Amino acid sequence: QIQLVQSGPELKKPGETVKISCKASGYTFTNYGMNWVKQAPGKGLKWMGWINTYTGEPTYADDFKGRFAFSLETSASTAYLQINNLKNEDTATYFCARREGDGYYPFDYWGQGTTLTVSS
Amino acid sequence: DIQMTQSPASLSASVGETVTITCRASGNIHNYLAWYQQKQGKSPQLLVYNAKTLADGVPSRFSGSGSGTQYSLKINSLQPEDFGSYYCQHFWSTPPTFGAGTKLELK
């Protein structure tokens, strides 16, 4: 069965770096793009961008350019989200979600979410 | 960017009732509209895509409709497991924006 399994909760201090993983199974990893979605506590869903798992090319939403980086370890069917120079406002749950291609398809499978807490 | 305006923000209903949630897009999204259900502490689950196509395993009491800029999700005969939050999302263009969500609570 198709699964996206994310890494566990993180507690970090401002200025630190975090790297969240999303391991896919049950399908051909490179046939689907991997999207990242942020959900701040008690808030809605915000699309952060996506990475083309075939070419490795990332695309970032405007609010997530600069400190955020998407990467892949294709041999392990794993996508990563790295956030540098962490700020308090990065406290949120981060979801990975797969989508066929880069458009005209919904996010059909989601990871369970990784909760990040940034606090001094 | 296309913005999604979702209403109502919250909704209180009883088991057995019928409810409707609406989303208005700031531009024509050509039926590239999905609805997701999210329960507390869980990840969103795809319910409906292409405005009216039910995802695999979704009960038939859920239905989607709409076109152009106006879309809705209807839930007939609410069941206890239907309570949670619902989000619309367009995927016509980048960024694929989400609505602000509707929290469906038990009356």
Rounded average pLDDT per 10-residue block, chain A, 120 residues: 98 98 98 97 97 97 97 98 98 97 90 98
Q: pLDDT tens digit string along B11-49? A: 999 999 999 999 999 999 999 999 999 999 999 999 999
d(CA B73, CA B85): 12
From residue A34, alpha-carbon distances to A7, A114, B8, B54, B72 in Å are 15, 15, 30, 22, 27
Chain A residues whose beta carbon lies within 8 Å of the beta carbon of residue B44: 45, 95, 97, 107, 110
Task: Locate A80 and state its tokens.
Answer: 């990563």
Q: Is A42 on the interface with B (CB under 8 A)?
A: no
How do strand B53-54 and strand B62-67 relate by DSSP bridges? unpaired
Number of neighbours of residue A22 by Cβ within 10 angstroms: 27
What band does B97 get if pLDDT is binned at 50, 70 and 90? very high
pLDDT at B18: 97
Kindly provide the b/e burial profile for residues B6-40, where b requires at least 16 CB atoms within 10 angstroms of the residue's own CB.
beeeebebeeeeebebbbbbeeebbbbbbbbbbee
For residue B8, the SS3 value is coil
- Pick A47's closest partner by Cβ from B42, B92, B97: B97
Task: List A residues 73-102 in contact with B (Cβ-Cβ < 8 A).
Answer: 95, 97, 99, 102
Contact A103 B42 (CB under 8 A): no
pLDDT single digits (tens) B40-85 = 999 999 999 999 999 999 999 999 999 999 999 999 999 999 999 9
B45 contact residues in A (CB cutoff 8 A): 110
User: Across the interface, do A110 and B96 touch by the CB < 8 Å criterion?
Assistant: no
For residue B6, give the chain A residue with the closest CA. A44
**Which residues 40-99 of B are in CB contact (within 8 Å) with A?**
42-46, 49, 55, 87, 89, 91-99
- Amino acid A103: pLDDT: 77
SS (H, E, C) chain A: CCEEEECCCEEECCCCCEEEEEEEECCCHHHEEEEEEEECCCCCCEEEEEECCCCCCEEECHHHCCCEEEEEEHHHCEEEEEECCCCHHHCEEEEEEEEECCCCCCCCEECCCEEEEECC
Q: Name the percent of chain B lying above pLDDT 70.
A: 100
